[in-house]
Amino acid sequence: MPIYEFFCRKCQEPFTAFMSMKEHDERAPKCPRGHDAKEVEKRISSAHAVTTKKSLTY
Distance in Å, CB of 22 to Zn ion, minimum: 24
Distance in Å, CB of 54 to Zn ion, minimum: 26
HEC per residue, 8-55: ECCCCEEEEEECCHHHHHHCCCCCCCCCCHHHEEEECCCCCCCCCHHH
Binding mask 1-40 for Zn ion (x = CB under 5 A): -------x-xx-------------------x-x-x-----
Residues that bind Zn ion (CB under 5 A): 8, 10-11, 31, 33, 35
